[in-house]
Chain A
């Protein structure tokens, strides 16, 4: 299981399957929504904020 450090709180984020570039994941400790920005090593940054035309 791959783990990485939350860019916001330093908490541990665990990936259930291999992370993918630009994958979204929520930090279980601070609740921040994060985007995977590099894979080697796995690093994350806050996900982009929702824009007006986002949706289904």
Chain B
């Protein structure tokens, strides 16, 4: 019988739903707390007891090291190390989207406040300044004019760590008070929600309200192409609606949250993730 593990930092509602989905399928699933892991690179055999490991760490740095070690040991994982590398850094994601001709907002990268200010001025106002690594809308800033650009760049230069000195500058998309979060498992967009907010940041972690978004053939084609560009697996694709250019992929998330998306969509998202993991285990 197949044996799975879920590695997580804490059992959030998502992890609990995944554990229950494994149980419903009669597949044993062990919960491994990442706080207790001690990898011995010369003795990774014990991990071979698992046919598949589902990585659900809330800490991105832990996820990267864990998946790198499991890749070394030849363990099948959901998601793979490569997917986490590609989604965990927004510039890498943008680069892969552009390389694969997938519609995405214009993006620039700079390393000094001076070159970042030039890039912002070239992009035009408003534009968006983001950290390359980060989630839940943290430190994502809309830059409305040169004064706010200079202020933000100085703050990041003086107070930030080395990662804050990498300036990811993105075109601001005048979206209709909402964006789309689409869930992809393997080669299918299984569900999508609109995230609506009066604030321009629409993350549900920041108060955005979730409502069902029909998965049209256009949305499915875009999101599955985006998922393929970052290496496939189980991902959440954030999509912006531009009045002229249509749908644009903004970001792709590798350890997606879905607690607020099951009820509005009526889709068993944890079940679909577990079905994908079972398929990986058998593949």
Q: Does B195 count as interface, using CB distance less than 8 angstroms?
A: no
- The answer to whether B135 touches A22 (Cβ under 8 A) is no
Q: Does B148 count as interface, using CB distance less than 8 angstroms?
A: no
Q: A54-B59, A56-B257 in contact; A24/B10 too (CB < 8 A)?
A: yes
Q: Does A53 count as interface, using CB distance less than 8 angstroms?
A: yes
Q: Which residues of A contact B9 (CB under 8 A)?
A: 48
Q: A20-B31, A22-B31, A22-B33 in contact; A55/B136 too (CB < 8 A)?
A: yes
Q: For the complex formed, measure the closest distance between the CB of A43 and the CB atoms of chain B, giving whole angstroms.
A: 15
- The answer to whether A56 touches B12 (Cβ under 8 A) is no
Q: How many residues of B contact A (CB 8 A)?
A: 26
Q: For the complex formed, measure the closest distance between the CB of B37 and the CB atoms of chain A, giving whole angstroms.
A: 13
A20 to B13 Cα, complex, angstroms: 11
Q: Which residues of B contact A36 (CB under 8 A)?
A: 11
Q: Does A51 count as interface, using CB distance less than 8 angstroms?
A: yes
Q: Does A32 count as interface, using CB distance less than 8 angstroms?
A: no
Map CB proximity to B onto A18-54 as digits: 1 under 8 Å, 0 otherwise: 0011111000000000011000000000011001011
Q: A21-B31, A53-B133, A56-B135 in contact; A47/B58 too (CB < 8 A)?
A: no
Q: A53-B59, A56-B236, A56-B254 in contact; A23/B135 too (CB < 8 A)?
A: no
Q: Does B279 count as interface, using CB distance less than 8 angstroms?
A: no
Q: Does B253 count as interface, using CB distance less than 8 angstroms?
A: yes
A20 to B10 Cα, complex, angstroms: 10
- The answer to whether B60 touches A22 (Cβ under 8 A) is no
Q: Which residues of A contact B28 (CB under 8 A)?
A: none
Q: Which residues of A contact B253 (CB under 8 A)?
A: 55-56
- The answer to whether B135 touches A54 (Cβ under 8 A) is yes
Q: A51-B59, A53-B59, A56-B256 in contact; A22/B136 too (CB < 8 A)?
A: no
- CB contact list, B183-198 vs A, under 8 A: none
Q: A21-B31, A22-B33 in contact; A48/B10 too (CB < 8 A)?
A: yes
- The answer to whether A56 touches B136 (Cβ under 8 A) is yes
**Residue among A21, A23, A47 facing the most chain B CB atoms (10 A cut-off):** A23
Q: Which residues of A contact B99 (CB under 8 A)?
A: none
Query: Which of A22, A51, A55, A56 interacts with B11 by CB under 8 Å?
Result: A22
Q: Which residues of A contact B256 (CB under 8 A)?
A: 56
- The answer to whether A53 touches B10 (Cβ under 8 A) is no
- The answer to whether B255 touches A56 (Cβ under 8 A) is yes
Q: Which residues of B contact A47 (CB under 8 A)?
A: 10
- The answer to whether A55 touches B16 (Cβ under 8 A) is no
Q: A35-B10, A47-B10, A56-B257 in contact; A23/B59 too (CB < 8 A)?
A: no
Q: For the complex formed, measure the closest distance between the CB of B261 and the CB atoms of chain A, giving whole angstroms.
A: 12
B255 nearest CB neighbor, chain A only: A56
* B residues neighboring A (CB under 8 Å): 8-13, 16, 19-20, 31, 33, 58-61, 133-136, 138, 236, 253-257
7 intermolecular pairs with C-beta atoms under 8 Å apart? A22-B10, A22-B33, A23-B10, A53-B60, A55-B136, A56-B253, A56-B255
